[in-house]
Amino acid sequence: MDEHDRVLVDLNAATMDGDAAPYGMIEDAAIVLEAGRIAWVGARGDLPSGYGGLPVESLEGRLVTPGLIDCHTHIVHGGNRAVEFEMRLNGASYEEVARAGGGIVSTVTATRAASEEELLTEALRRVDVLIAEGVTGIEIKSGYGLDIETELRMLRVARAVMAKRPVRVKTSFLGAHATPAEYAGRDDAYIDEVCLPALRAAHAQGLVDAVDGFCEGIAFQPAQIARVFDVAVELDLPVKLHAEQLSNLGGARLAASYGALSADHVEYLDEAGVRAMAEAGTVAVILPGAFYTLRETQAPPIDLLRQHGVPMALATDINPGSSPLNSLLLTLNMGCTLFRMTPEEALRGVTQNAASALGLTDTGTIRAGLRADLAVWDVRHPAELAYRIGFNPLHARIFGGTS
């Protein structure tokens, strides 16, 4: 027997498993934790007598959900863009900000200048804020290095986060995020000479779990993304894509044609794209932080996604430019208030569907056999998690069975 093995009782479980009841709710539930896994979950009255020998822990009527998963972040990066934010609010134009070295270029410069240790220290401060909100899984992208050395450094830092903190990390290679200044006007050369060699090197070093790209007028065209995805296929890596954020280039359809885990942002997604995603089982990752920060007015097609049964995830998109949003709980509220997602859809979006967006099959719901990644909340009803703004009701977090 593991020293952490126990039976949790006096709790309501929002299992997010199945759709027999809203939130997969089991009132007055018991959850058996054994060897870091969920051995059994159900109504307390049905608890098999075989677990009678385990210690019992009362959660005093609290709500238990799966541990939360932030399935889209750029949490590893150098510097921040607060001064640029201030310049804009003082009336500076986009050109003036760019001339002052602002925009994505400034984050690339700061990331290249930062040591591995500095990047890790800064990332951990942000990661700790997520962990304090019950997060047990985080996706972390590269994409602010845009040279081989710095892309690899970002991915090593992402892996180091998992060694330093009790949290699961999945990495995505995002070399096709932007073209760096030294390749201005030579996007294809950048892909051939930097992006693809960096991907191969990162893969060879075991640093990549998925391949991402930014398909947009201001970034890369579908044909360029396809060249990156072809290498992902060759390396047997799943793909995902920043698609239809600012315009509709058919990125979601392209991603779906590669069986993508997810298409993310999707404000400008059309019905053909929704259909393609439904057929491919591609998750729509909804990112209200970027919508809010950019003061975007086109909301993602939530109704169409619902109609076609496309699973929706929700994530912070933590990055220094378009989404300096370091709260997954606030993201739940934004998904509901800005996009009219229901609190149940929002919670599914940071648990079950966030796990799917990362290709994780052993977490995201409370079900026998899965990892014991759980969050215990001082709330009575799960809608409270999405309802409040700037309030954290986490009581405890359980990661792989350990509190």
Interacting residues with ligand DI6 (CB under 6 A):
104, 107, 177, 214, 242, 245, 290, 319-322
For ligand DI6, which residue has the nearest CB? 321
Side chain identity at residue 65, one-letter code: T
CB of residue 244 vs ligand DI6: minimum separation in angstroms? 11
Q: Which of Fe ion, ligand DI6, none interacts with 352 (beta carbon under 5 to 8 A by kind)?
A: none
CB of residue 253 vs ligand DI6: minimum separation in angstroms? 18
CB of residue 191 vs ligand DI6: minimum separation in angstroms? 16
CB of residue 241 vs ligand DI6: minimum separation in angstroms? 10
CB of residue 177 vs ligand DI6: minimum separation in angstroms? 6
The residue count of the chain comes to 403
Q: Which of Fe ion, ligand DI6, none interacts with 249 (beta carbon under 5 to 8 A by kind)?
A: none
Among the listed residues 324, 352, 348, the one whose alpha carbon sits nearest the alpha carbon of residue 335: 348
Helix (H), strand (E) counts: the chain: 16, 14
CA contacts within 13 A on the Cβ side of 18: 9
Among the listed residues 197, 67, 187, 85, the one whose alpha carbon sits nearest the alpha carbon of residue 133: 67
Among the listed residues 222, 221, 226, 223, the one whose alpha carbon sits nearest the alpha carbon of residue 211: 226
The footprint of Fe ion on residues 299-318 (CB under 5 A) is 317
CB of 113 within 8 A of CB of 78?
A: yes
Q: Which of ligand DI6, Fe ion, none interacts with 172 (beta carbon under 5 to 8 A by kind)?
A: none
Q: Which is nearer to Fe ion, 216 or 317 (CB)?
A: 317
Q: Which is nearer to ligand DI6, 24 or 320 (CB)?
A: 320
Q: Which x/- pattern, by CB under 5 A, does the window 134-163 give for Fe ion?
A: ------------------------------
Q: Which of ligand DI6, Fe ion, none interacts with 104 (beta carbon under 5 to 8 A by kind)?
A: ligand DI6
What the block records as the tokens of 263 is: 């298409």
Q: Which of ligand DI6, Fe ion, none interacts with 322 (beta carbon under 5 to 8 A by kind)?
A: ligand DI6
What the block records as the tokens of 247 is: 């315009």
CB of 41 within 8 A of CB of 367?
A: yes
Q: Which is nearer to ligand DI6, 289 or 364 (CB)?
A: 289
CB of residue 89 vs ligand DI6: minimum separation in angstroms? 17
12 CA to centre of own chain: 26
Q: Which is nearer to ligand DI6, 265 or 348 (CB)?
A: 265
Distance CA 236, CA 204 (A): 12
Kindly state the number of chain residues that form the binding site for Fe ion, as judged by CB under 5 A. Answer: 1
Q: E strands, 216-361, where?
A: 240-243, 262-265, 283-286, 312-314
Q: E strands, 228-357, where?
A: 240-243, 262-265, 283-286, 312-314
Q: Which is nearer to ligand DI6, 242 or 348 (CB)?
A: 242
Q: Which is nearer to ligand DI6, 137 or 321 (CB)?
A: 321
What the block records as the tokens of 220 is: 């890369």
Q: Which is nearer to ligand DI6, 176 or 370 (CB)?
A: 176
For Fe ion, which residue has the nearest CB? 317
Distance CA 50, CA 265 (A): 47
Q: Which is nearer to ligand DI6, 30 or 315 (CB)?
A: 315
CB of residue 293 vs ligand DI6: minimum separation in angstroms? 8
Q: Which of ligand DI6, Fe ion, none interacts with 133 (beta carbon under 5 to 8 A by kind)?
A: none
CB of residue 320 vs ligand DI6: minimum separation in angstroms? 6
Strand 168-176 and strand 56-66: the pairing is unpaired
Q: Which is nearer to ligand DI6, 19 or 96 (CB)?
A: 96
CB of residue 321 vs Fe ion: minimum separation in angstroms? 9
Q: Facing residues of 339 across strands?
A: none
Give the three-class secondary structure for 392: coil
CB of residue 319 vs Fe ion: minimum separation in angstroms? 6
Q: Which of Fe ion, ligand DI6, none interacts with 126 (beta carbon under 5 to 8 A by kind)?
A: none
Distance CA 341, CA 335 (A): 6
Asked if 345 is part of the footprint of Fe ion (rule: CB under 5 A), the reply reads: no
Contacts of 141 (CB under 8 A, 6+ apart): 72, 73, 74, 76, 171, 172, 173, 174, 177, 212
CB of 109 within 8 A of CB of 178?
A: no
Residue numbers of the site for Fe ion (CB under 5 A)? 317
